Amino acid sequence: MSGIDLLINEHKYVNRMLVVMRKACFDFMQNKEIDYDDFDKMISFVRNFADSHHHKKEEIFLFNKMVEHLGETGKNVITHGMLVEHDLGRNYMRNLEEALDRHKSGDKEAGLDIIANAVSYATLLENHIHKEDNVIFNFAKRSLKEDILEVIDKECLEYEEKNTSIREENIGILNSLEEKYINR
């Protein structure tokens, strides 16, 4: 498997979690009840898998090389596009965590911020992943030299091998939340 195929494969897990997130928000909207532990699990998946495990590979192994080797276009699409979106996602998660705390302490209005931040994150990431799968990764495959693509493959696969437990653990979280919110 190439490094880029590995990243595309990880998008499938992230997308599944985005569906769970929207559904948990919809349930909250309908029933006015919220399971804080489940939202903590979603945040933990986003931070440990989508951000640390997945975005880290993109940023360090792929995007850095696109900025270095693909001229102005490479620099622009990565630094003003993809990296900005990774940061925006981190902001939404910080705000979501804060809103959950406020809601837990009795501030009912914070429910608005829980839904707003979780749904905004889901929409942002859905569009971000669509752009990577259909534009950015094709641009990289088409434009980076073969030897650079080989380095990316090697770095991504080595990282993956060293971090299988993170992957397994987070897929476990995803499966259990899907059981609860989607397959019931």
Of 100 and 156, the one with the shorter C-beta distance to Fe ion is: 156
Least CB distance to Fe ion at residue 110 (A): 29
H or E stretch at 16: helix 3-31
Q: Could you give the CA distance from residue 109 to residue 127 in angstroms, rounded to a whole number?
A: 28
Of 38 and 132, the one with the shorter C-beta distance to Fe ion is: 132
Of 131 and 180, the one with the shorter C-beta distance to Fe ion is: 131
Least CB distance to Fe ion at residue 83 (A): 8
> Cβ distance 126 to 134 under 8 Å?
no
Of 39 and 137, the one with the shorter C-beta distance to Fe ion is: 137
Q: Which of residues 132-161 bind Fe ion (CB under 5 A)?
A: 132
- On the 0-12 / 13-18 / 19+ scale of CB atoms within 10 A, 155 is middle
Least CB distance to Fe ion at residue 23 (A): 22
Least CB distance to Fe ion at residue 82 (A): 5
HSE-CB of 43 using CA atoms within 13 angstroms: 21
- Point out which span in 55-63, 91-99, 118-126, 161-169 binds Fe ion (CB under 5 A): 55-63
Residue by residue, DSSP assigns 100-117 as HHHHHTT-TTHHHHHHHH
Q: Which residues bind Fe ion (CB under 5 A)?
A: 58, 132
